[in-house]
Amino acid sequence: MSQPSSALSLGLVSTSWARDALEQRERRKQQDAEDGDARIKVLAFANGKGGVGKSSLAAAFSAAAARAGQRVLLIELDQQGNNAEDLGFVGDKQIADDGAAQARMILEGAKLQPTGTPRRNLDVLPGGELLEDVSEELYCQRRLARHTGDHSWVGMYTAAIEQVYEDYDLIVLDVAPGSMVLQLQALVAADVVIIPSKSDPSSRKGLRLVARRFREAHEHNEDLRLLGVVLFATNTSATRVKQKIRDQLQEDLAGNAPVFSTAIRHVEAVAVQCRTLGKVPEELADEQDLDSSLQQSAAQLAKDYRALTMEILTAIHQLRLDLNAADEPDEVGASA
């Protein structure tokens, strides 16, 4: 399909490839349903507020899943580029490309190409400052769509992900809190959304913001689901207090998604050491030269992340079972 003349005059990139990819994804999903093999592999970690543990959680989950034998791709849709610190490739200019590979992917139509493999089974496509150019393009596309009615621009990341969809068991999207267009791209591309949140009012406001963007994305991705909310950086072991917080989060989402039973505790010293060494908590806990107090705290935090990883993977498995069961023909109706 040719590009609208208004888009050409503005110098915007063509979105016809994104339109084709959205249609291709729908055909793939229909085939999966017919085969009784619904696949849930694209996960978006998102919140409308920063500082809620989103990048730490996405990196730790990705590393844990890779360590368990899953083939994982971690895509960081965030100008801050925190994954480089979380996974220890800050000084590696080939991997930490400041978002250049993503910029080529969106602005030039290049194929999605991970920049490196910092862990076995874990490929990465980092973010960085060059995503500012990507965001600017997407905002322009959004404004143009208001006049043309062509909203295929929302599928630009979907199109890129479809190119490598069969290469991975899990594709994790770490989404910037401040960019509405990048969040929308991620939610349109994702199968499920996981929302990390603290218990403070500002974090809960960010959670509600993602819920609103979820509804917008649902217009372009009807199969998108909220998998759950992760309570992050808790500093209390009181069961009653945690339950109250979970009840508040459930209320914020009107019961549309569960709050995972595993909460991630707040251990500032471990968090600092993790980013200093470029290790996730599970890796830090294996370090032999830590002082005993820090190692014990790291082991406890690593236990949280392992439990949460298993809970997320179990929820994905259960969702697949539910979807496959829903797609099975009714035996009574079929025999009537």
Residue 296 falls inside a structural domain: no
Using the 8-state DSSP alphabet, how is residue 81 labeled? Answer: -
Q: What is the C-alpha separation between 207 and 228, in angstroms, rounded? A: 11
Contact 225, 191 (CB under 8 A): yes
Residue 224 falls inside a structural domain: yes
Look up the CATH number of the domain holding residue 238: 3.40.50.300
Name the pLDDT band for 8 (thresholds 50, 70, 90). Answer: very low
Q: What is the C-alpha separation between 305 and 289, in angstroms, rounded? A: 22
Residue 194 has pLDDT above 90, yes or no: yes
Residue 306 falls inside a structural domain: no
Tokens of 164: 């490598």
Q: What is the C-alpha separation between 279 and 222, in angstroms, rounded? A: 37
Per-residue pLDDT tens digits for 126-163: 999 999 999 999 999 999 999 999 899 999 999 999 99
Name the pLDDT band for 233 (thresholds 50, 70, 90). Answer: low
Residue 317 falls inside a structural domain: no
What is the predicted pLDDT for the residue at 181?
94
Of 168, 169, 177, which is closest to residue 45 (Cα–Cα)? 177
- Percent of the chain beyond pLDDT 70? 87
More confidently predicted of 11 and 104: 104
Q: What is the C-alpha separation between 240 and 244, in angstroms, rounded? A: 6
Tell me the C-alpha to C-alpha distance, in Å, between residue 211 and each of 13, 149, 246: 29, 24, 16
Of 156, 144, 158, 111, which is closest to residue 12 (Cα–Cα)? 144
Contact 259, 244 (CB under 8 A): no
314: helix, coil or strand? helix
What is the predicted pLDDT for the residue at 332?
44
What is the predicted pLDDT for the residue at 3?
42
**Which residue bears the tokens 């930490």?**
96
Residue span of the structural domain in which 246 resides: 41-266
Residue 207 has pLDDT above 80, yes or no: no
Q: What is the C-alpha separation between 193 and 214, in angstroms, rounded? A: 9
Mean pLDDT over residues 27-35, rounded?
A: 88
The rounded mean pLDDT for the chain is 87
Mean pLDDT over residues 26-53, rounded?
A: 87
CB hemisphere CA count around 40 (13 angstroms): 24
- In Å, the largest CA–CA distance within the chain is 70
Provide the domain count of the chain. Answer: 1
Name every residue whose Cβ is closer than 8 Å to that of residue 66 and which is 6 or more positions away in sequence. Answer: 72, 119, 120, 121, 122
Per-residue pLDDT tens digits for 80-132: 999 999 999 998 989 999 999 999 999 999 999 999 999 999 999 999 999 99
Radius of gyration of the chain (CA): 20
Per-residue pLDDT tens digits for 301-334: 999 999 999 999 999 999 999 988 886 665 444 4
Residue positions counted in the chain? 336
Name the residue type at position 148. Answer: T
What is the predicted pLDDT for the residue at 283?
94
Q: What is the C-alpha separation between 79 and 8, in angstroms, rounded? A: 27
Most confident of 27-41, 224-238, 299-313: 299-313
How many other β-carbons are positioned within 10 Å of the β-carbon of residue 157? Answer: 28
Contact 50, 177 (CB under 8 A): yes
- Give the predicted TM-score (pTM) of the model: 0.89
Q: What is the C-alpha separation between 184 and 297, in angstroms, rounded? A: 37
Residue 8 falls inside a structural domain: no
Residue 331 falls inside a structural domain: no
More confidently predicted of 94 and 178: 94
Name the pLDDT band for 279 (thresholds 50, 70, 90). Answer: very high
Q: What are phi and psi of 94, to 5 degrees?
A: -70, -40
Residue 323 falls inside a structural domain: no
11: helix, coil or strand? coil
15: helix, coil or strand? coil
Of 260, 275, 259, 270, which is closest to residue 301 (Cα–Cα)? 270
Mean pLDDT over residues 64-79, rounded?
A: 96
- The sheet carrying 170-175 orders its strands as 116-119, 122-125, 72-77, 170-175, 42-45, 192-197, 225-234, 264-265
Name the pLDDT band for 199 (thresholds 50, 70, 90). Answer: confident
Q: What is the C-alpha separation between 143 and 15, in angstroms, rounded? A: 14
Residue 17 falls inside a structural domain: no
